[in-house]
Amino acid sequence: MSTAPAMTAAVRATPLMDGLIARTVAHGLPLSVHFDLTYRCNERCVHCYLDHEDYGELSTAEVERVLEELAAAGTLFLTLSGGEIFLRHDLERILATARRLHFDVSLKTNALLLTQQRAARLRELGVRRVQISIYSDEPAVHDAITKVPGSLERSLAAIPLLRAAGIQVKLACPLMKQNLTAYRGVMALAEKHGAGYILDLTITPMIDGSTGPVQHRVDAGALLPVLQDPALHSCGRMAPGETDRELSPGLSAMGSSVSSGIESDAYEDLPCSAGHNTCYISPYGEVTACVQLPLSAGNVRQESFQSIWHGGAGLERVRAVRESQLPLCAKCGIRRFCERCPGLAWMEGGDLLGAYERACELAEQKARLAGMRDAESAWHAAQRNAEKCIEASGSEPDSEFVGNSRRG
């Protein structure tokens, strides 16, 4: 038996990642974990889905124990976020522990508290990438969203500090009513600073289910000029060499700035990575499949991560979902234009398997742009049929054809 080749590949692109994703899904390993260390924040963004009070965050020792458990479970990609991550005074110690355990670490931050010294320290502690929330290149627009005067200037000042320290930077720009036309400016900022970027049309309900932030969401019809912009579909969002498929050059600039799941064709009939090889941990220890899918599978304060990952009912529910078996969406004629998110299906429609209006509206817009003049989602068609049914008989239609049962 020969040991060669001991090193199978050293590649920059996606086939290796796809192979890794396929293996971790097949074996049920938590390859990537998004761990919010705090919900406290020094900004008050109008669209934020978090409650910024501290209800008892995991202690330093608890976080470190969880990191040990994640390493033992096979997690490689670790995203630490908040809230504002730099409000955790033990962040350096936590990063040092993550470094000792060989995680690939990314941070999400508004960067208001970032200094040259901190940037250098992040590099020493092995942080590979930092995602910064930027809503516009215009201070008046950005600062009105964050409700912190001067915040754009401070956030932008952090970018060259991080770049000089050798850390990759990615700008995340959720688009809402207040900044819909700002994306071109954010793209220019990213180019100027040698940073990647992601534009996100997803404005989600609060994590407790309340819908306040949704009022800032742009109507699907008003998104047409954005969806038509060729700049969003021909650009490279990130420097070559990224290991993440979501950052591969040539893909659409649109994506989720919230989720840390890894996009890949390797998921095949699965809706996404959530619960299969990725999950989310809240500052209070709750484990869910994704930050956008708040179905608790357990709490790391009560049991080990491994026990939750392999036995949590909340994860099993999510893992059972197959795209081809979605009762309504699987039959939808414009499915290929749809970016249905199971978390938002749950948050907005109350049904992991159901359709939800926002996804259907966006899919219809995209289908029309592609030349399908009468594009209609299966959900809207079912609603239309149901209305006809009520008009005709005066009775309630079969709920299966309506698709969703509203939560709460």
Partner 1 sequence: MPDNQPGTLWTRNPALAWREIEGRTMIISPTDSVLHELNDTGSFIWKLLDGVHSAEAIAARLVQEYEVDPEVARADTNALVGMLAAQKLLLRAAEPAPGATRP
Name which of 262, 258, 256 is nearest 274 in CA terms. 262
Shortest distance in whole angstroms from residue 12 CB to partner 1 = 5
Residue 128 CA to residue 168 CA, distance in Å, equals: 6
Shortest distance in whole angstroms from residue 245 CB to partner 1 = 11
Indicate if the alpha-carbon torsion angle 11, 17, 22, 27 is positive or negative: positive
First to last CA, the chain: 62
Name which of 199, 201, 200 is nearest 189 in CA terms. 199
| DSSP state, residue 212 | G
Residues 6+ apart with CB under 8 A from 2: none
Answer for the pair 44, 146: CB distance below 8 angstroms, yes or no: yes
Shortest distance in whole angstroms from residue 204 CB to partner 1 = 29
Residue 109 CA to residue 159 CA, distance in Å, equals: 11
Question: Nearer Cβ to partner 1, position 168 or 179?
Answer: 168
Question: Nearer Cβ to partner 1, position 170 or 358?
Answer: 170
Shortest distance in whole angstroms from residue 361 CB to partner 1 = 36
Question: Nearer Cβ to partner 1, position 22 or 227?
Answer: 22
Question: Nearer Cβ to partner 1, position 29 or 218?
Answer: 29
Q: Which residues bind partner 1 (CB under 8 A)?
A: 1-12, 16-17, 19-20, 23-24, 27, 29, 31, 71, 74-76, 99, 102-105, 126-129, 166, 168, 241-243
Question: Nearer Cβ to partner 1, position 102 or 331?
Answer: 102
Shortest distance in whole angstroms from residue 25 CB to partner 1 = 11
Name which of 172, 185, 189 is nearest 254 in CA terms. 172
Beta bridge partners of 33: 78, 279
Q: CA Rg, the chain, in Å? A: 21
Shortest distance in whole angstroms from residue 92 CB to partner 1 = 16
Burial-class residue 408 by CB neighbours within 10 Å (0-12, 13-18, 19+).
exposed
Residue 136 CA to residue 199 CA, distance in Å, equals: 11
Question: Nearer Cβ to partner 1, position 122 or 201?
Answer: 122
Question: Nearer Cβ to partner 1, position 17 or 111?
Answer: 17
Shortest distance in whole angstroms from residue 243 CB to partner 1 = 4
Shortest distance in whole angstroms from residue 17 CB to partner 1 = 6
Measured at the CA of 400, the angle between CA 396 and CA 403, to 5 degrees, comes to 100
Question: Nearer Cβ to partner 1, position 77 or 135?
Answer: 77
| Amino acid letter, 262 | I
